[in-house]
């Protein structure tokens, strides 16, 4: 009897797991990696008990997606049960690439046991933990196909590797101090090979900015208490205000600085070890430069052996941020680090194992009463999903390969065939040449590893996006179709498909109301959209409403110079007191030019974007004139709301109208002006968030028979999502927000691929 298992079954200790079950049951046969799955041959007619135990006891890092049973045609006379070498068959999307995982408790215990041969060895690993995707050159996941290929195992490591009863059986990154991966500490022109970890600790204690190589790339770290070091890092990295994450020794240390609920603690301590966005506690230890003017920042636990060795001697949090130039991907080689950030870091800890696929840390947050992914990175990606195919298109979906090419910002790639979807890790913003190179590398890697020839490439409606240009070029190369989908409709498809995964009662033809709010996206009418209301399903999406447009005086430049948005709102809605304030603060020449552009509609864009609405409100309130990072206005408003309580007799929201599908907020701004003049900025923030939640609910009430889906970068705002969730639950209205995919543009490629699977065949 032959059993073929698909899923996450390579590089996770699955073959020795199968071996042990067979031994326990006294079965003869074999197990081996074949293609991207595992083939099991049993010299037995009845395999029910074996399969039952296999499903029941599946290893923590493994996942069984599909089991196929057939008759074995071989003639072998099995003497026992064997684990054989891999067979390199063709790979399909059902062949899963194992993900990088945090170091496990067993390996940590050995690392800090003075009697163990792995004592203080930074690269201690086993089949339950360590690097996977980041070191893979090709499938199957064997050592020769990884960046561990140059490292020969010592006798003891080889013995572990060959022993089916050892947890390091088949652990491709296996090594120890005898066959070690070397570490070097660099400062100026000096290289320290003796005690490099101690030198690194000394550098952090001395207030240096240190670049430390991790599983997916370099991070820039410094003492989280040292304002001078953090300010220097901000100046050198040209990151004036965007919050930094902190790495902390353990959960106990994390809880000194952020409030975390049970679900957040579980996520923090999980084998995925993501960054958790938490609400900051007041303290006198951390530098105020970590998250200026905000009450939220990220925390992460040590996830590699190097990190744990550092925290053996450090009893304080360290700033932990990706080593990259602004807008570029994470840096993974010391040569590139010196070339691009040589003037930023002051010392560096490097090791000789190559990172083949650089990958950022994942980010998750508890919002809308659930843990939700904000960035697909290490341990979460590559992400594979399966959505049951639409029956009347099933045969074509089975054979048609669609590739979603993503958006311009927070780009990802998605490969889809036969209802199976493979989503790449977060890549970045494609208007940056380095990000575009990384994007092309990832495209080629998945194309080569799976021998893919696309039938359909699908890109954003915006013709000048780098992904759109890439689509046109590649469609000629592959002689395949290149089609587009409007940005917010791709958001709709992503949210719809994820709702199908959350609720089996939803099928591709179910109609749902889509509330899609973000910062930007080219609309069908050539304007910038971002406050959209759709009604439809995966085969038809109708735009039934949107937010009233607001002016971007000076065009796209207003996205950074948000005082222009505030001034435009004051002019449009006749907010005299606020208009006068702007005109007093503006340079006379600029004031004349901006007013003329508004009145004559010259170089002025009009957008329905809710992201830009946040910018405008922040500007009107005097919170911000220039935005130094994406979403800054929203984060400032979120922080103000977190500490604001409205009195019983105070109005909880602003007035608004929904007329012919258009959300109008002229009344809101007139009321808001009065609150601004009274100086009630935190109350304005609270009422503004409440108003947006009420708008979402009012829209849903206009279509009471439909469930509601939410997508778009605005739904990264914790207080908005929490307010919506509370309101909808109270009213008994069914809604769905992203959980496994980010609500931002990181979900666009998935939405594009879903759309293509159901509309372009």
Q: Does the annotation count 116 as an active-site position?
A: no
Mean pLDDT computed over 121-142: 93
* Least trusted range by pLDDT, from 56-60, 237-241, 445-449: 56-60
Residue 424 phi, psi (nearest 5): -70, 165
Q: Which pLDDT belongs to residue 88? A: 66
Q: Which pLDDT belongs to residue 451? A: 82
Q: Which pLDDT belongs to residue 691? A: 98
Contacts of 181 (CB under 8 A, 6+ apart): 122, 123, 151, 175, 351, 352, 353
Of 468, 486, 498, nearest to 530 (Cα)? 486
Is the pLDDT at 737 greater than 50, yes or no?
Answer: yes
Is the pLDDT at 760 greater than 90, yes or no?
Answer: no
Phi-psi region of 733 (alpha: psi -120 to 50; beta: other; left: phi over 0): beta
CA 1 to chain CA mean position, Å: 42
Q: Which pLDDT belongs to residue 145? A: 92
Mean pLDDT computed over 46-68: 84
Query: Distance between CA 351 and CA 157 in Å, rounded?
Result: 20
Question: Cα 705–709–715 angle (5° rounding)?
Answer: 140
Catalytic residue among 15, 168, 232, 353: 15
At residue 78 the predicted structure's pLDDT band, cuts being 50, 70 and 90, is confident
Q: Model confidence over 596-623: pLDDT tens digits? A: 999 999 999 999 999 999 999 999 999 9
Q: Which pLDDT belongs to residue 91? A: 63
Query: Distance between CA 488 and CA 494 in Å, rounded?
Result: 10
Question: Cα 327–332–337 angle (5° rounding)?
Answer: 75
Query: Distance between CA 35 and CA 365 in Å, rounded?
Result: 36
Of 705, 676, 711, 671, nearest to 691 (Cα)? 671
Query: Distance between CA 716 and CA 491 in Å, rounded?
Result: 14
Q: Which residue has the higher pLDDT, 37 or 404?
A: 404
Residue 302 phi, psi (nearest 5): -55, 135
- The CATH fold assigned to 550-607+609-703 is Tetracycline Repressor; domain 2 (1.10.357)
Of 100, 105, 82, nearest to 12 (Cα)? 100
Query: Distance between CA 551 and CA 528 in Å, rounded?
Result: 11
Mean pLDDT computed over 362-388: 95
CATH of segment(s) 183-351: 3.90.870.40
Average pLDDT value for the chain = 93
Q: Does the annotation count 33 as an active-site position?
A: yes
Here the tokens at position 531 are: 């406050």
* Least trusted range by pLDDT, from 88-92, 354-358, 563-567: 88-92
**Residue 659, SS3?**
strand
Contacts of 299 (CB under 8 A, 6+ apart): 245, 246, 247, 248, 254, 257, 258, 260, 268, 275, 276, 278, 317
Q: Which pLDDT belongs to residue 651? A: 84
Dihedral of CA atoms 553, 557, 563, 564 in degrees, nearest 10, equals: -10
Q: Which pLDDT belongs to residue 45? A: 65
Q: Model confidence over 510-542: pLDDT tens digits? A: 999 999 999 999 999 999 999 999 999 999 999
Pairing of strands 662-664, 540-547: parallel
Q: Which pLDDT belongs to residue 467? A: 97
Q: Which residue has the higher pLDDT, 23 or 318?
A: 318
Query: Distance between CA 277 and CA 86 in Å, rounded?
Result: 41
CA 611 to chain CA mean position, Å: 19
Q: Which pLDDT belongs to residue 391? A: 42
Is the pLDDT at 217 greater than 50, yes or no?
Answer: yes
Query: Distance between CA 228 and CA 234 in Å, rounded?
Result: 10
Is the pLDDT at 395 greater than 70, yes or no?
Answer: no
Q: Which pLDDT belongs to residue 37? A: 83
Catalytic residue among 20, 32, 33, 601: 33
Here the tokens at position 719 are: 């207080």
At residue 35 the predicted structure's pLDDT band, cuts being 50, 70 and 90, is confident
**Domain residue ranges of the chain, discontinuous segments joined by +:** 2-83, 183-351, 382-524+531-544+706-761, 550-607+609-703
Q: Which pLDDT belongs to residue 232? A: 97
Tell the burial category of 39 from Cβ atoms under 10 Å away from its Cβ (0-12, 13-18, 19+): buried
At residue 43 the predicted structure's pLDDT band, cuts being 50, 70 and 90, is confident
Query: Is residue 347 a contact partner of residue 200, using CB atoms and an 8 Å limit?
Result: yes
Query: Is residue 126 a contact partner of residue 107, using CB atoms and an 8 Å limit?
Result: yes
Q: Which pLDDT belongs to residue 81? A: 86
Q: Model confidence over 660-680: pLDDT tens digits? A: 999 999 999 999 999 999 998
DSSP state of 11: S
CATH 3.30.420.360 is held by the domain 382-524+531-544+706-761: yes
- Which position has the token pair 């040589």? 342
Is the pLDDT at 28 greater than 90, yes or no?
Answer: no
Is the pLDDT at 508 greater than 80, yes or no?
Answer: yes
Is the pLDDT at 394 greater than 70, yes or no?
Answer: no
Is the pLDDT at 389 greater than 70, yes or no?
Answer: no
CATH 3.10.450.50 is held by the domain 2-83: no
Q: Which pLDDT belongs to residue 92? A: 66
**Residue 97, SS3?**
coil
Q: H or E stretch including 433?
A: helix 433-449
Q: Quick one: CA dihedral 75, 79, 83, 84, positive or negative?
A: negative
- Which position has the token pair 């899609």? 516
Partners of residue 383 on adjacent β-strands:
423
Query: Distance between CA 150 and CA 146 in Å, rounded?
Result: 9
At residue 392 the predicted structure's pLDDT band, cuts being 50, 70 and 90, is very low
Is the pLDDT at 316 greater than 60, yes or no?
Answer: yes
Q: Which pLDDT belongs to residue 10? A: 81
Residue 455 phi, psi (nearest 5): -95, -35
Q: Which pLDDT belongs to residue 488? A: 98
Q: Which residue has the higher pLDDT, 62 or 306?
A: 306
Query: Distance between CA 107 and CA 121 in Å, rounded?
Result: 10
DSSP state of 86: P
- How many secondary structure helices (H) and strands (E) does the chain include? 23, 32
* Least trusted range by pLDDT, from 14-23, 38-47, 667-676: 38-47
């Amino acid at each position: 009897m032959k059993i073929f298992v698909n899923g996450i079954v390579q590089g996770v200790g699955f073959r020795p797991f199968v071996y042990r079950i067979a031994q326990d049951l006294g079965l003869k046969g074999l197990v081996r990696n074949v293609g991207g799955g595992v083939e099991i041959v049993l010299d037995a007619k009845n395999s029910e008990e074996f399969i039952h135990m296999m499903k029941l006891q599946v290893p923590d890092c493994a996942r069984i997606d599909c089991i196929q049973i057939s008759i074995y045609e071989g003639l072998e006379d099995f003497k026992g049960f064997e684990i054989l070498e891999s067979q390199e068959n063709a790979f399909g999307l059902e062949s899963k690439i194992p993900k990088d995982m945090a170091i496990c408790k067993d390996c940590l215990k050995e690392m800090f046991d003075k009697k163990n041969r792995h004592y203080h060895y930074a690269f201690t690993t086993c089949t339950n933990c360590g690097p996977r995707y980041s070191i893979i050159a090709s499938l199957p996941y064997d050592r020769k196909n990884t960046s561990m290929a140059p490292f020969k195992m010592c006798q003891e490591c080889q013995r572990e590797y060959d022993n089916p009863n050892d947890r390091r059986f088949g652990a491709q990154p296996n090594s120890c101090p005898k066959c070690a991966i070397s570490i070097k500490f660099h400062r100026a022109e000096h290289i320290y090979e003796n005690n490099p970890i101690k030198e690194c600790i000394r550098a952090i204690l001395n207030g240096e900015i240190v670049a430390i190589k991790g599983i997916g790339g370099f991070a820039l770290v410094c003492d989280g208490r040292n304002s001078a070091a953090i300010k220097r890092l901000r100046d050198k990295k040209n990151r004036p205000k965007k919050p930094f994450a902190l790495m902390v020794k353990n959960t106990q240390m994390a809880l000194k600085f952020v409030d975390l609920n049970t679900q957040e603690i579980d996520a923090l301590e999980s084998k995925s070890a993501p960054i958790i966005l938490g609400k900051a506690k007041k303290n006198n230890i951390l530098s105020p430069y970590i998250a200026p003017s905000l009450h939220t920042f990220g925390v992460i636990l040590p996830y590699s052996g190097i990190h744990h060795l550092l925290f053996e001697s450090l009893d304080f949090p360290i700033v932990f941020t990706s080593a990259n130039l602004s807008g570029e991907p994470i840096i993974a080689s010391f040569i590139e680090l010196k070339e691009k950030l040589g003037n930023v870091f002051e010392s560096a800890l490097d090791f000789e194992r190559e990172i083949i696929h650089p990958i950022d840390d994942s980010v998750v947050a508890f919002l809308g009463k659930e843990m939700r992914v904000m960035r697909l990175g290490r341990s979460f990606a590559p992400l594979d999903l399966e959505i049951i195919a639409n029956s009347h298109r099933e045969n074509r979906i089975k054979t048609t390969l669609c590739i979603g090419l993503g958006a311009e910002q927070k780009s990802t790639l998605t490969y889809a065939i036969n209802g199976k979807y493979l989503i790449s890790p977060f890549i970045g913003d494609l208007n940056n040449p380095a990000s575009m190179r990384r994007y092309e590398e990832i495209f080629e890697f998945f194309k080569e590893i799976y021998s893919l020839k696309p039938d359909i490439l699908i890109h954003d409606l915006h013709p000048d996006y780098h992904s759109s240009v890439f689509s046109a070029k590649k469609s000629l190369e592959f002689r395949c179709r290149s089609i587009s989908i409007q940005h917010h409709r791709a958001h709709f498809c992503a949210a719809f498909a994820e709702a199908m995964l959350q609720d089996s009662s939803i099928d591709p033809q179910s109609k749902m109301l889509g509330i899609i709010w973000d910062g930007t996206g080219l609309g069908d009418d050539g304007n910038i959209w971002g406050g959209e209301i759709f009604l439809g399903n995966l085969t038809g999406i109708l735009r039934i409403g949107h937010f009233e447009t607001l002016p971007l005086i000076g065009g796209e430049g207003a996205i950074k110079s948000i005082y222009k948005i505030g001034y435009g709102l004051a002019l449009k809605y006749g907010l005299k007191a606020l208009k006068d304030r702007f005109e007093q603060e503006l340079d006379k020449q600029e004031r004349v030019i901006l007013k003329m552009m508004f009145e004559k509609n010259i170089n002025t864009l009009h957008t329905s974007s809710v992201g830009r609405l946040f910018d405008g409100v922040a500007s009107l309130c005097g919170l911000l004139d220039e935005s130094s990072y994406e979403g800054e206005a929203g984060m400032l408003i979120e922080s103000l709301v977190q500490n604001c309580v409205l009195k019983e007799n105070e109005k909880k929201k602003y007035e608004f109208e929904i007329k012919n599908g258009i959300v109008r907020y002229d009344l809101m701004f007139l009321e808001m002006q009065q609150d601004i003049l009274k100086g009630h900025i935190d109350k304005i923030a609270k009422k503004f968030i409440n108003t947006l939640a009420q708008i979402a609910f009012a829209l849903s009430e206009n279509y009471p028979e439909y469930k509601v889906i939410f997508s778009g970068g605005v739904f990264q705002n914790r207080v908005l999502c929490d307010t919506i969730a509370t309101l909808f639950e109270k009213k008994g209205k069914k809604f769905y927000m992203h959980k496994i995919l980010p609500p931002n543009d990181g979900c666009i490629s998935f939405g594009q691929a879903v759309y293509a699977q159901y509309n372009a065949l």
